[in-house]
Structure 1
């Protein structure tokens, strides 16, 4: 970093952050002082092609399956709003949290967690696949913004910005549970991962990443229930039936709270039902639609207030950022959030009607992987064809295939699969089946 660049950073240094937090992995010329480095980070994520593609990627229900339901993009925007509010209350830079929240799902492939599971199985012999590790790869390598000598730097965010997006701060097999499928970086991204984590407490998320993680849980627990109610798959009145209620709470326990008793989960659900805004019956008319929206708003307020109050009680009134302080989630709130997530799992994700959909999605991803591997650069977009040509060995080329598939939206994955496997389609080329652009941004 040049002296002039250091002087520029010092002039724009947000309170609570060091010059090292503002450093970027790849060198850049000095910028004007009209924006802070963190505002610039947020703008780079907001204008990225990876963020735009989330508009056609599955959140819970398939993208495009209903005009109301959320996609990964609308979910990310809502997470950013929740996270920004919590971060501002607790004193960390809201643009760092905002950028991390906008980034948190960038690495998710088509078809949501089902797509993630299939790609992890396909990539098992060369490092696996994990949506959060893929997010780091996009931010620091794949999303076009800055090219260096010998490697691209992705969006080249600040150290604080990259670290805030790392939800699982460990490499594959090195976390608290070595058998867990969750990790934050692939082996070939270890250099930028280690750079982002300089000065970090091993295995501990920075404060901004903790806020992002909580905002994600809060937003999707509430909004997935809202989507399920409006979509007709969840009728909250059915929870009044003891057998129905017990079955739903068993899914909550199985998916999210294996160490918690059914009685404790039932008590958490009862607390939510006792809220004045709880809507037991949704009819689809204007009055019930407004009441449902009020319920979601009140629940988000309930959870965010609980986090802010508990964190302030633990740390006092000073600003919290980076590795100063821990975000506190009260136990009662943790259970209530888990119950809402479990209701969506019980009535949407684990329903018998979804199984044929999951099987078709797996067929699409496995078929695409096989065809892209067997045809080399024929069906790769120009960016990934360039990475294929530069790859050092077969494992690196397989990683390129996984990167390409992960970049697809649900619609593109389906369309390309249909084109490649339609017996009437011959000599299909990349020009015949245009893929999502990865042009330069901001």
Structure 2
């Protein structure tokens, strides 16, 4: 794939003297995300269960690094610039708040009157506004000031709320950030993702569906023998169809689970021994390879050996592979995220988020210094609330709990 000058353009022109002559623009993008504070904070943000609950399970940072490894290799095999895909993968979860998708839902409820909250839109806001690296000549923040190609690759949902070309609650930009969104999407077909964004999205799907199952088994939430119990299988398939892929029927989803189990990749039991852990790790390698190869093969069959990228192609995901990833997501959801034991935890997390929003709103002096300046410059109450949401979204799980306790917002459970 040959990237044009426009693909390497930055929103704010930079002093050529700041550039190293031996360094490609896309490599600089990757380095900026890798060295960002937002990426570091992911180490203390929930992936499936709280990072403090187990020494084995993944947090948002380890998940992100695994997505980047999968995406970089797949993108390179298809002819993308590996650094562009890597940057998108490293950035893809930067906007996620504390407590994973539960925290996201809590902030969306708080922000309902100002356009809601979406982790992907928050990622764009962070990359182009909140993460300190560059400013406009008039002093306005420009975030990390990544190239157009890298920002477009990191935009999983290239539309505003309500603008999806298909039924979806996901969106990639707030009204406040439409200016930079229009800039980065210049020349792109409306509603169509960059090819690199599709590679990133598939790498994300593969990583979390496989690794969430690994974490569920290793941490004791899932006994693999239950995957062959008809009652549990029916429950998993119900979640798969209701939550993840309503367009797939039970028969198709059931066949997908049978294929995964028949592959021999999933251990039949797990006793926590090193041998069992090795078998579990082998499962992840085999399944990741299975899904990456399926997509690479199908995409090559459609486009031949050409180097692919930007808006010149679409990633081809076979229906069989998508169905298999869906049922693996449903396995983790049924046995971990939707488990009865989690209900009280989720309720407490939502109370923490709502309590922190109220505390920052009542006393803006509690805001971090950089965010405090944004709040002081807010033109109205809606803009001020968006700044408070930015602050809460930036918090790690650990800091959110600590501030909640320090300010005694509600009695601890």
TM category (shorter chain) comes to over 0.9
Alignment of 1:21-420 (within 5 A): 21-30=7-16, 31-148=19-136, 149-177=138-166, 180-376=168-364, 378-420=365-407
Greater displacement, 199-208 / 141-150: 141-150
Assess, with a 3 A threshold, how the Cα gap between structure 1 residues 150 and 224 changes in structure 2: closer, same or farther. same
Whole-angstrom CA distance in 2 between matches of 1:242 and 1:272: 16
The answer to whether the 8 A contact 2:51-2:59 is kept is yes
Runs of 5+ consecutive residues of structure 2 not aligned to the other structure:
none
SS at structure 2 position matched to 1:358: helix
The answer to whether the 8 A contact 2:221-2:335 is kept is yes
Whole-angstrom CA distance in 2 between matches of 1:131 and 1:53: 15
Deviation at 1:147, TM superposition (A): 1.5
Whole-angstrom CA distance in 1 between matches of 2:246 and 2:196: 28
The answer to whether the 8 A contact 2:10-2:148 is kept is yes
Per-residue deviation, residues 164-195 of structure 1 (Å, max 9, x unmatched): 000001011111246x3311100110000000
Whole-angstrom CA distance in 1 between matches of 2:114 and 2:229: 48
Per-residue deviation, residues 31-50 of structure 1 (Å, max 9, x unmatched): 22211000000000000000
The answer to whether the 8 A contact 2:45-2:99 is kept is yes
The equivalent position to 2:5 in structure 1, one of 1, 15, 19, is 19
SS at structure 1 position matched to 2:20: coil
SS at structure 1 position matched to 2:43: helix
Assess, with a 3 A threshold, how the Cα gap between structure 1 residues 423 and 316 changes in structure 2: closer, same or farther. closer
SS at structure 1 position matched to 2:52: coil
Whole-angstrom CA distance in 1 between matches of 2:85 and 2:105: 27
Q: Please provide the CA RMSD for this pair.
A: 1.2
Whole-angstrom CA distance in 2 between matches of 1:158 and 1:314: 29
SS at structure 2 position matched to 1:25: coil
SS at structure 2 position matched to 1:391: coil
Per-residue deviation, residues 189-238 of structure 1 (Å, max 9, x unmatched): 00000001001011010000000000000000000000000011111201
Whole-angstrom CA distance in 1 between matches of 2:266 and 2:373: 53
Deviation beyond 4 Å, 4+ runs, structure 1: none
SS at structure 1 position matched to 2:407: helix
Whole-angstrom CA distance in 2 between matches of 1:32 and 1:243: 60
Runs of 5+ consecutive residues of structure 1 not aligned to the other structure:
1-14, 425-442
Whole-angstrom CA distance in 1 between matches of 2:56 and 2:34: 22
Whole-angstrom CA distance in 1 between matches of 2:81 and 2:330: 32
Assess, with a 3 A threshold, how the Cα gap between structure 1 residues 187 and 291 changes in structure 2: closer, same or farther. same
Deviation at 1:265, TM superposition (A): 1.1
Whole-angstrom CA distance in 2 between matches of 1:352 and 1:83: 34
SS at structure 2 position matched to 1:421: coil
Deviation at 1:251, TM superposition (A): 1.3
Whole-angstrom CA distance in 1 between matches of 2:206 and 2:265: 17
SS at structure 2 position matched to 1:160: helix
Whole-angstrom CA distance in 2 between matches of 1:85 and 1:361: 36
Whole-angstrom CA distance in 2 between matches of 1:64 and 1:207: 36
Deviation at 1:111, TM superposition (A): 0.3
Assess, with a 3 A threshold, how the Cα gap between structure 1 residues 127 and 422 changes in structure 2: closer, same or farther. closer
Deviation at 1:263, TM superposition (A): 1.4
Per-residue deviation, residues 66-91 of structure 1 (Å, max 9, x unmatched): 01000000000000000001001000
Deviation at 1:422, TM superposition (A): 6.3
Deviation at 1:323, TM superposition (A): 0.7
How many residues get paired?
Answer: 408
SS at structure 1 position matched to 2:326: helix
